[in-house]
Amino acid sequence: MELRRDPRIRRVLRSGKTVRVDERVDDLVLENVGAMVTGTGGHMVSLNAKARKALGKDVGDAVDVTITRR
């Protein structure tokens, strides 16, 4: 999922580099995740198949994400 839709993300991450973050995706908490630079001015975090299965989600499904910089 790409983190560029909300301008607050850039202020929180304050970086053009990969940064470590804690994230909540719907009700699933993931700690110390790498938010990688996309090359389009945003950051991206991945959500693997195990996490998608725990959430009952598939590729392309909408999720609510909260990011906290470590």
Q: What is the pLDDT of residues 4-52, one digit of tens each?
A: 556 666 666 666 788 888 999 999 999 999 888 887 777 788 888 899 9
Q: Which residues contact 16 (CB under 8 A, 6 or more apart)?
A: 37
Helix-, strand-, coil-residue percentages of the chain, each rounded to 5: 20, 35, 45
pLDDT at 58 > cutoff 80 = yes
Which residue did the predictor score with more confidence, 42 or 61?
61
Whole-angstrom Cα distance, residue 60 to residue 7?
22
Dmax (CA) for the chain in angstroms is: 32
* pLDDT at residue 25, rounded to an integer: 92
* pLDDT at residue 31, rounded to an integer: 93
CB 22 within 8 A of CB 45: no
Entry pTM: 0.69
